[in-house]
Amino acid sequence: MKYPREMWAGSHIKGAINPSRVVVENKEEYNNFVRTYNGKMNVYTSVYDFREFSHNRGLEHSIILDRIFLDFDAHDGNIEEAHEAFLKVARWLQSKNYKHSMAFSGRGFYIFVYGEVADNIRQIKSFFNLCVDVAQSNTLDASVINTARLRRVLNTWNMLGDRYCIPLIPSDRLNHLPYILSLSKGKRNLPPEDRYVGDKLVQWPEVKEFEALPIEIDSVESPGELPILPCLKNAVMVENPNHRARVLLTQWYNEFVSELAMIESGQTGSPRNLRGDALRTIKQTIAKEISTIADNNDVWIDYNEQETMKHISFIVDKRYMSASCNTLINEGFCVGKCWRYGE
């Protein structure tokens, strides 16, 4: 672990007053911070290292992008699903011999994957999408792929999970979930060398600059009843589209149907503020639309209604809206300049 580094402690109680984020200069200050707050609050430290700091924050231009933090959340308490997705990605990483370390957070799992120093965060995001395709699960939290992200400190108490955040070793992947849950009732101190798997540093994928294909697209015929972006239609109207394409499609529909619900109800403000019955209606509308697409020429042979509804519910409940043109271009989905380009 490198110093200086950011640290923060946060309460699990809504409305509680939390201490400000701080920068610790060395291991002694780091340990003192942990001792002060562990067991009273959740204790976090920065995912990335920085060369320069100001006002207790690492400066963006000085970040060292040499890793990716993969966070597998146990949404709605479904820790089994998070565990399954974690195992899929961990096995894939081992098959590639990528250097990584693993942990149980007290409520879910996380993995650090180490690589060469990337030029920008877009390269890290591109690798994240590979992991999403491997996991085939929405338990992988996309919000952690940002330079300001914090992660839970090992061997600190998770106030909501009522367990410790503990490091995992390769053999733990062979153990059943109850074993890990039992193990996390106490701290687990391991030598650093026992925690790492693989020795190959990731060479992050190259990504394109923000530039759409030089093709003008007026409009496309929707395979269902709702409008669809040309790039998303191209991505999903194939036999068994990949998981990322389905997620992007659902996020697009979530934004469109949410905005429509705001207009029809006469509400003002952000569609992200919709709650209750409105969200249930949005989920049903999206599910119907995706079912129509899946049935269109039998393009989604692996379509499963219950599994699809689970993913829709997660995206709608989290209020994840449509990806930007920047994201769609950089991930290779763009097929030309449509009406949305440049908005």
- pLDDT digits 0-9 by tens, 15-31: 778 888 899 999 999 99
Q: 114: which strand partners?
A: 67
Within the chain, which residue ranges are assigned CATH 3.90.920.10?
Answer: 5-197
- Asked if the model's pLDDT at residue 211 lies above 60, the reply is no
pTM: 0.72
Confidence of residue 107 (pLDDT cuts 50, 70, 90): very high
Of the CA atoms within 13 Å of residue 325, those in its CB half-sphere come to 15
* Overall average pLDDT of the 240-261 stretch: 90
- Asked if the model's pLDDT at residue 115 lies above 90, the reply is yes
pLDDT of residue 271: 84
Instruction: Report the alpha-carbon distance of residue 203 to residue 117 in Å, rounded.
Output: 8
The segment with the largest mean pLDDT, out of 175-184, 211-220, 334-343, is: 175-184
CB atoms within 10 A of CB 114: 17
109-113, 114-118, 338-342: least confidently modelled range: 338-342
Q: 158: which strand partners?
A: 163
pLDDT of residue 218: 66
pLDDT of residue 212: 54
pLDDT of residue 219: 65
- Asked if the model's pLDDT at residue 221 lies above 90, the reply is no
The segment with the largest mean pLDDT, out of 81-85, 144-148, 234-238, 265-269, is: 81-85
pLDDT of residue 163: 96
Please give the C-alpha separations between residue 106 and each of 27, 32, 185, in angstroms, as whole numbers.
24, 22, 9
92-101, 139-148, 182-191: least confidently modelled range: 139-148
CB 164, CB 155: distance < 8 Å: yes
SS3 per residue for the chain: CCCCEEEEEECCCCCCCCCCCEEECCHHHHHHHHHHHECCEEEEEECCEECCEECCEECHHHEECCEEEEEECCHHHCHHHHHHHHHHHHHHHHHCCECEEEEECCCCEEEEEEECCCCCHHHHHHHHHHHHHHHCCCCECHHHCCCCCEEECCCCEECCCCEECEEECHHHHHCCHHHHHHHCCCCCCCCHHHHEECCECECCCCCCCCCCCCCECCCCCCCCCCCCCHHHHHHHCCCCCCHHHHHHHHHHHHHHHHHHHHHHHCCCCCHHHCCCHHHHHHHHHHHHHHHHHHHHHHCCCCCCHHHHHHHHHHHHHCCCCCCCHHHHHHCCCCCCECCCCCC
Instruction: Report the alpha-carbon distance of residue 118 to residue 100 in Å, rounded.
Output: 16
Q: Identify the residue with better confidence: 23 or 268.
A: 23
Of the chain, the percentage scoring pLDDT greater than 70 comes to 95
176-185, 209-218, 320-329: least confidently modelled range: 209-218
Instruction: Report the alpha-carbon distance of residue 131 to residue 88 in Å, rounded.
Output: 9
Mean residue pLDDT of the chain comes to 88
CB 100, CB 112: distance < 8 Å: yes
pLDDT of residue 297: 57
The predicted-structure confidence for 69-87, as pLDDT tens digits, reads as follows 999 988 667 899 999 999 9
Write the single-letter amino acid at 268. Answer: T
Q: Which CATH number fits domain 5-197: 3.40.50.300, 3.90.920.10, 3.40.50.720, 3.40.190.10?
A: 3.90.920.10
- Asked if the model's pLDDT at residue 334 lies above 90, the reply is no
